[in-house]
Copies of this chain bind each other. A is one copy, B any other.
Amino acid sequence: MENERLKQQIEFIVEIDKLKRVMRQSRIIGDIHDELLWENSAEHSWHFAMLAVILGEYADKTVDIGKVMKMALIHDIVEIDAGDTFAYDQLGHLDKAEREGKAASRIFGLLPDNQRDEMMELWMEFEERETNEAQFAAALDLVQPLLQNYYTQGYSWQKNKVTSDQVLARINAATKNSKTLKNFVEWLIHDAVKKGYLQ
């Protein structure tokens, strides 16, 4: 193929296929006895982007939903090299930023320069949680796995010995741009405790 720019873009598109093999600590909702059905990061990213499509009206400060969707789609691509770091893995978080930064440079570096820069900036914007879009995306990225856990009767919480205190401790930082989603998450956790899904 002669089109060098398109060639780089296709190389990136083929490389990110690997996200379909990065496994998360979340169960797919459905038959909870089927051990095979853990969620991977590509599926999670699709679901997260769908939350942006459906729940956009709950951003307190205005957001560009197209940008939130893009953040959702690309936010985990670094896991192709860095792996998924479980939200409650303290040790894994010590070098998470370093591992993911290297991964971002390599993977987004496959793209033509202008797109590499755009993707790097968007990913860092999401990580820094400062803009309206990044803060709203953080709320959606919190809600998605909480739903997976709630609707599998707390499967991953129990397997990983996660407590309600640990889950509650993450809420304020993640829901700065959505009072409605903050309330929803608090309701969900208390209901999960009441139902015995979470200690």
Contact = CB atoms under 8 A, between A and B. Distances in A.
Interface in A26-41: 28-30, 37, 39-40
Nearest to A41: B46
Interface residues of A, number: 46
A121 to B, nearest CB: 13
A53 to B, nearest CB: 6
A148 B17 contact: yes
A162 interface: no
A74 to B, nearest CB: 7
A54 B147 contact: no
Interface stretch (A8-16, A97-105, A131-139): A8-16
Given A46-B49, A50-B73, A1 B148 contact: no
Given A53-B74, A54-B115, A65-B66, A14 B147 contact: yes
